[in-house]
């Protein structure tokens, strides 16, 4: 068996793409995984381009691969940076053997033996390709429901690197859910750039689900599925039918990501997000009304071109009103091929940094208060992570990390846990009734 070393940067979709790469190379080329780069016959880095930092990380990683690799070992670059830099990567690092884009994963075995192969066509459609099977987690299965993105948020490079949005036929999705459950998965995580825009376009027809709410119903009917999560939905497509299914379907975990980006309606227009501050607040209030114990997370960008102190106050106002349980926040990072990168009145970095720390400090206080509210609650936890200190950890239904005393017999089990203590990012508890 040949040895494969793979490093994955970025989002859950990249994690799933890496699983697909591992599966194809294992089944079709006899590769097995190693975490020792020095013994690898093939080294792949699956890249992210959402901000500049991961892109610069790529070239420093490539440099260290070149030093560490054994004679004759190959190096490949996959993912979003591969899609938009393409042959530029080989020019800057000629020791790289191939470049394969985020939309061309199914072609991994084709590029292996072609020196300097570049496979980055973002119009290539692999929405009906059935990948071999490999999962990095035994109990949780990541499942793509669409490829690409049809939105054109002015700061975002994803449509450039992952191409137009095509939904995967639900018959293929349900087959994959059944296979994952048969192999031990209890939790299904449905992935897409805009999951609740599912069904807008298929490349082949089938008689299955035509929108996301229908797909959620179908997935929850599969025997053995105990939990369903999804990422990421778009606030624009949060209609009442979808939110009621989210609230009333007992298998859907009560955790939802509602990416805000900015609280200023003026800026949301510049960002081409398609919704206003009022719509966003309306949807979050609806979610909290339908599911009082829900955990809401969000993404926020500060320092977007043209962001004034007033605009930033709007963002802080939404933070106070929604009291997000989890926040992913970043300074605006100009991305190549995106409109906002050439917008006038770019915000000076030091102002963006000040706003980011103001936002993160206030959020930390809110997060801590939200965590304290969990003490005394009994929550369902899927245990996945055995720790060395006689403890075991897992995620509650609302996504919060919970740690209890316990050992391997709890792995893969879903248990009721009474929360006894809360920290900023994790909860402690006791198995209920034990």
149 versus 168: smaller Cβ distance to ligand SF4: 149
Q: Name every residue whose Cβ is closer than 8 Å to that of residue 271 and which is 6 or more positions away in sequence.
A: 153, 154, 155, 261, 262, 301, 304, 340
Smallest gap from Cβ 256 to ligand SF4, in A, equals: 16
Question: What 3-state class would DSSP assign to 325?
Answer: coil
Kindly tell me which of 47 and 374 has the beta carbon lying closer to ligand SF4.
47
Q: How far is the CB of 238 from ligand SF4 (least distance, A)?
A: 13
Can you tell me the distance from the alpha carbon of 191 to that of 106, in angstroms, rounded to the nearest whole number?
17
Of the two residues 153 and 419, which places its CB atom closer to ligand SF4 in the complex?
153
CA dihedral 175, 180, 186, 189 (to 10 degrees): -70
Give the start-end residues of each E strand in 80-158: 98-101, 117-119, 140-144, 146-147
Cα(93)–Cα(410) distance, integer angstroms: 47
Query: Which residue number, 52 or 289, has a Cβ lying nearer to ligand SF4?
Result: 52
Helix or strand run (H / E) with residue 362: helix 349-372
Task: Give the residue from 328, 297, 274, 267 showing the smallest Cα distance to 51.
Answer: 328
3 vs 229, beta carbon nearer ligand SF4: 229
CB of residue 262 to ligand SF4, shortest distance in Å: 12
For the four alpha carbons of 196, 200, 204 and 210, in that order, the dihedral sign comes to: positive
CB 301 → ligand SF4: shortest distance, Å? 10
Interface residue list for ligand SF4 (CB under 6 A): 149, 151, 153, 156, 158-159, 193-194, 234
Minimum distance between the CB of residue 418 and ligand SF4, rounded to whole angstroms?
38
Least spacing, CB of residue 162 vs ligand SF4, in Å: 8
CB of 159 to ligand SF4, least distance (A): 5
Closer to ligand SF4 at the Cβ: 151 or 210? 151
Please state whether 129 falls in left (phi above 0), alpha (psi between -120 and 50) or beta: beta
Burial of residue 411 (CB within 10 Å: 0-12, 13-18, 19+) is middle
As a whole number of Å, the CA-based R_g of the chain is 22
Tell me whether residue 234 or residue 395 sits nearer to ligand SF4 (CB atom): 234
């Amino acid at each position: 068996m040949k040895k494969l070393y793979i490093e994955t940067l970025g989002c859950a979709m990249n994690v799933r793409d890496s699983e697909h790469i591992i599966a194809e190379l294992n089944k079709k080329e006899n590769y097995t995984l190693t975490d020792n780069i020095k013994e690898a016959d093939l080294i792949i880095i699956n890249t992210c381009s959402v901000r500049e930092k991961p892109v610069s990380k790529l070239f420093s990683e490539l440099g260290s691969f070149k030093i560490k690799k054994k004679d004759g070992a190959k190096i490949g670059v996959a993912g979003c940076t591969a899609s938009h830099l393409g042959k530029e990567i080989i020019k800057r690092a000629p020791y790289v053997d191939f470049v394969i884009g985020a939309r061309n994963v199914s072609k991994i075995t084709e590029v292996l033996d072609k020196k300097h192969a570049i496979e980055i066509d973002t119009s290539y459609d692999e929405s009906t390709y059935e990948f071999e099977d490999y999962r990095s987690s035994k109990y949780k299965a990541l499942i793509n429901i669409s490829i690409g993105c049809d939105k054109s948020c002015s700061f975002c490079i994803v449509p450039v690197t992952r191409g137009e949005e095509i939904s995967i036929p639900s018959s293929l999705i349900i087959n994959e859910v059944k296979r994952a459950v048969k192999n031990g998965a209890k939790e299904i995580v449905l992935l897409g750039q805009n999951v609740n825009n599912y069904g807008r376009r298929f490349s082949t027809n089938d008689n299955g689900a035509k929108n996301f709410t229908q797909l959620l119903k179908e997935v929850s009917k599969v025997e053995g599925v105990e939990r369903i999560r999804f990422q990421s939905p778009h606030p624009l497509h949060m209609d009442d039918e979808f939110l009621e299914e989210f609230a009333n379907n007992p298998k859907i975990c009560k955790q939802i990501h509602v990416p805000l980006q900015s609280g200023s309606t003026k800026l949301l227009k510049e960002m081409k997000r398609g919704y206003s501050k009022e719509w966003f607040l309306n949807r979050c209030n609806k979610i909290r009304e339908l599911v009082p114990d829900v955990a809401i997370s969000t993404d926020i960008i500060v320092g977007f071109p043209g962001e004034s102190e007033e605009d930033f106050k709007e963002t802080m106002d939404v933070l106070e009103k929604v009291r997000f349980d989890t926040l992913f926040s970043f300074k605006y990072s100009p991305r190549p091929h995106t409109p906002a990168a050439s917008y006038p009145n770019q915000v000076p970095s030091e102002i963006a940094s000040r706003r980011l720390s103001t936002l993160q400090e206030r959020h930390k206080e809110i997060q801590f208060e939200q965590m304290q509210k969990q003490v005394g609650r009994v929550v369902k936890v899927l245990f996945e992570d055995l720790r060395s200190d006689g403890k075991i950890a897992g995620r509650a239904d609302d996504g919060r990390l919970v740690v209890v005393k316990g050992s391997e017999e709890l792995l893969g089990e879903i248990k009721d846990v009474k929360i006894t203590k809360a920290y900023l990012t994790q909860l402690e508890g006791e198995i209920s009734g034990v």
